[in-house]
A and B are shown apart, each in its own frame.
Chain A
Amino acid sequence: MPEGIFCNKKPIETEDALTALLGDTSGSQYYKEMKSLDVDSKLLWTTIQNTCKSRIRTWLEICAHCGMCADSCFLYLVNDRDPEQVPAYKIQSTLGEIIKRKGNVDNKFMHMAMETAWAKCTCCNRCGMYCPHGIDMGIMFGYLRGLLYQQGFVPWELKIGAGMHRVYRAQMDVSEEEFVETFQWMVEEYEEEYPGLAVPVDVENADIMYTVNAREVKHYPEDLAEAAILFHAAGENWTVPSRGWEQTSLAMFAGDWAACKMQVENVYAAMERLKPKRMIGTECGHAHRATVVEGPYWAGRKDGKPPAESIHYIEWLAEALREGKLKIDPEKRIKVPVTLQDSCNYVRNHGLRETGREILSYIVEPGYYREMSPNREHNYCCGGGGGFNGIGLFRPQRNKALITKRDQILATGAKLVIAPCHNCWDAIRDLEEEFEIGIKWSFLKPLVISMLEIPGHMKPEE
């Protein structure tokens, strides 16, 4: 059977199609259909000829099969040094083989490639730092995901995720009205405690345009209020766009490049409409990678930058603390052993390796901070990156992958893990649920609020 009802080569374009696919619980029919999904070898080969140029072709050609990348991969280490988890092997046996066979691969092969691309690589890009030839297998896996997506071999949740972006321009079914209403409602909840607290919507020429992760709107609305409180406390002139507020991109995890472009252009349109001085995104790693690091290229921007200067939340927070816009009550600083999770997406992939540490220097009592080993751009993935957290089919593999981070955290002796990234935060929550090592985990916003010296303009009237 060629195309299935749910599992096929067509992206999700409508709300109805999305609802129908969501109705297929856990993708049981979807994966059943995938077993007989045809491979369009001609399309596969044409796509490769058009998009696989000298960088990737050279990488595949000159790989010396030296195995020096093996130890760099946490999935290789955590899976008892299984040779099939060596990054070079994983990419040569999938993308390398597809190219060698000029796209003539079968359904069984594509299943293997799908598992390799989404359950044996989180696109953390660490291996690229350890290859003498500078071969970045994470980039190649991203490319492979695109090929697999085009052929319909993509995990159920990510097909839905990419569809969400196509239909709602958000990773979840959150409409523009719902976003604004939720934000306003949350702010109202805190208004009494923090007089003057408001959410300025669609204000032009503000200093800051704030963008979020749809999960905050749907599941963690306090996060929105916390962002408002901190901007307010810092006396910032900020705004949120009613349209183009979603910074994340599950389409990037899925390899749906067309949806990536649609999503990011929506945010850029908001920047062009509201003309803020800067865009600041929430505490999310992949959202920053999608909108700030990769997004300009999807949108065809030759300078590789978004229309307005765009920074990560930790960059703004570090600046606000440094410049005294936000003041910390020294008595309330963190006094338990604490460690920091470096997010691959903005540390290894955007160089923000000291920013988080600067923030911690203001909010942690001296002597309580513990570094993970390795750290900064050499840190390991949380175990759930690249979409791994969200894929039910690969849950057992994901749970095993968490062991690396568990052991890294245990070695620090920390009782609190600060994770300024949604994906890392989720993975660390899950590892605590799975292994019960007795840690707490947190974003930065609630911690900073808990130790803030409330400025006069924010004190409730007596």
Chain B
Amino acid sequence: MYEFITGFMFWLALGVCLTGVIVRTILYFRGLQWNLDRVAYKAYPVEGFKGAIRSIYKWILPFGTHGWRKQPFMTVIFFSFHLGAVVVPLFLLAHNLFLEEKLGFSFFSINGGVADFLTWLVVASTVLIILRRIALPEVRIMTNWYDYLIILISVAPFVTGLMARYQVGDYSFWLLVHIISGEILLFAIPFTKLSHVFLFFASRAQLGMDYGIKRGGLKGTKMAW
């Protein structure tokens, strides 16, 4: 079982995820049409590129935009969640050992204490994100089962990872569940709302190009995100 999950299933999940990400990113940009979107992308590649970079950069900076500054609570839980969600999977020592064995290369590893902290941060901010969803009428009205499913898929690898980490009950059980939940996450990335892990950059780039080219960019006005 373990062999199958860490062997065939791992390769399949990784392959589907990476292929999906690449294909969908290409399809996204091929689907941008200057006449329908009313943005002359090709006529002003430099201005468009600058606008795109600016739009992404400002928004991945905590409190970097008016939008973030307007909602400090959301900003804190949002960045706490995403910091852990990006850093831990890529830079956990155990993951790197696994990668080394499978792929023959690995990223640098973060300190175990930092990894623990970031993982707890993900779990804690998920709880707050869920509470925010329930508490605020303007978020509740849009929330449906699908939003909770996405949260579940996203946080499951972290919760199961912690269970394995602290060896609650049967270690090998939790390790197996952890790997499966991670693979589910990989499968889900290209096909669900989790596609935002790459389409965020695409979508932000598009609006950045819009502002960089059409909405004032050519006049030298930089958008105050």
Tell me the A residues contacting B by CB distance below 8 Å: 51, 53-55, 57-59, 61-62, 64-68, 70-72, 76, 81, 83-84, 86, 88-89, 92, 128-136, 293-294, 296-298, 300, 302-304, 348-353, 376-378
Question: Could you say which interface size class chain B belongs to?
Answer: 35 or more
Instruction: Give the residue among B28, B195, B214 with the most A Cβ atoms within 10 A.
Output: B214
Interface residue? B95 (CB, 8 A): no
Note all chain B residues with C-beta closer than 8 A to A134.
Answer: 55, 59, 203-204, 206-208
A129 to B68, CA, bound (A): 11
Interface residue? B113 (CB, 8 A): no
Are B203 and A302 in contact, CB atoms less than 8 angstroms apart? Answer: no
A185 to B95, CA, bound (A): 82
A129 to B210, CA, bound (A): 12
Interface residue? B128 (CB, 8 A): no
Are A71 and B31 in contact, CB atoms less than 8 angstroms apart? Answer: no
A343 to B34, CA, bound (A): 25
**Which residues of B130-146 have CB atoms within 8 Å of chain A's CB atoms?**
136-144
Interface residue? B173 (CB, 8 A): no
Are A133 and B203 in contact, CB atoms less than 8 angstroms apart? Answer: yes
Are A377 and B55 in contact, CB atoms less than 8 angstroms apart? Answer: no
Given contacts A64-B196, A65-B147, A304-B39, 7 further A-B contacts (CB under 8 A): A58-B28, A58-B199, A132-B59, A133-B200, A293-B214, A297-B38, A304-B38
A302 to B44, CA, bound (A): 10
**Nearest chain B CB to A117 CB, angstrom units:** 18
A-B pairs with beta carbons under 8 A, tally: 147
Note all chain B residues with C-beta closer than 8 A to A81.
Answer: 137-138
15 A–B pairs (Cβ distance < 8 Å), ordered by A: A54-B28, A54-B31, A55-B31, A64-B193, A65-B139, A65-B143, A66-B139, A71-B70, A72-B70, A129-B225, A131-B67, A133-B203, A134-B208, A302-B34, A352-B221
**Which residues of B180-222 have CB atoms within 8 Å of chain A's CB atoms?**
193, 195-196, 199-200, 202-204, 206-208, 210, 213-217, 219-221
**Nearest chain B CB to A272 CB, angstrom units:** 19
Are A58 and B202 in contact, CB atoms less than 8 angstroms apart? Answer: yes
User: 3 closest Cβ contacts across the A-B interface?
Assistant: A351-B216, A54-B31, A351-B221
Interface residue? B36 (CB, 8 A): yes
When C-beta atoms are compared, the residue in chain A nearest to B193 turns out to be: A62
When C-beta atoms are compared, the residue in chain A nearest to B41 turns out to be: A304
Given contacts A68-B71, A83-B137, contact A133 B219 (CB under 8 A): no
When C-beta atoms are compared, the residue in chain A nearest to B39 turns out to be: A304
Note all chain B residues with C-beta closer than 8 A to A68.
Answer: 67, 71, 74
A351 to B213, CA, bound (A): 11
Given contacts A130-B70, A303-B40, contact A54 B219 (CB under 8 A): no
Are B59 and A129 in contact, CB atoms less than 8 angstroms apart? Answer: no
A428 to B17, CA, bound (A): 53
Note all chain A residues with C-beta closer than 8 A to B1.
Answer: none
Are B199 and A62 in contact, CB atoms less than 8 angstroms apart? Answer: yes
**Nearest chain B CB to A322 CB, angstrom units:** 16
Interface residue? B33 (CB, 8 A): yes
Given contacts A67-B136, A76-B138, A130-B66, contact A54 B221 (CB under 8 A): no
When C-beta atoms are compared, the residue in chain A nearest to B55 turns out to be: A134
Interface residue? B43 (CB, 8 A): yes
Are A53 and B195 in contact, CB atoms less than 8 angstroms apart? Answer: no
**Nearest chain A CB to B146 CB, angstrom units:** 9
When C-beta atoms are compared, the residue in chain B nearest to A50 turns out to be: B36
Note all chain B residues with C-beta closer than 8 A to A76.
Answer: 138
Interface residue? B27 (CB, 8 A): yes
Are A53 and B67 in contact, CB atoms less than 8 angstroms apart? Answer: no
When C-beta atoms are compared, the residue in chain B nearest to A67 turns out to be: B139
A213 to B136, CA, bound (A): 44
Given contacts A62-B195, A134-B207, A304-B214, contact A89 B141 (CB under 8 A): yes
**Nearest chain A CB to B79 CB, angstrom units:** 11
Instruction: Give the residue among A71, A76, A129 with the most B Cβ atoms within 10 A.
Output: A129
Are B196 and A133 in contact, CB atoms less than 8 angstroms apart? Answer: yes
Are B66 and A83 in contact, CB atoms less than 8 angstroms apart? Answer: no
Note all chain B residues with C-beta closer than 8 A to A62.
Answer: 193, 195-196, 199-200, 203
Are B196 and A350 in contact, CB atoms less than 8 angstroms apart? Answer: no
When C-beta atoms are compared, the residue in chain B nearest to A65 turns out to be: B142
B108-145 near A? 1/0 per residue, CB < 8 Å: 00000000000000000000000000001111111110
A131 to B29, CA, bound (A): 20
A329 to B217, CA, bound (A): 35
Note all chain B residues with C-beta closer than 8 A to A89.
Answer: 138, 141-142
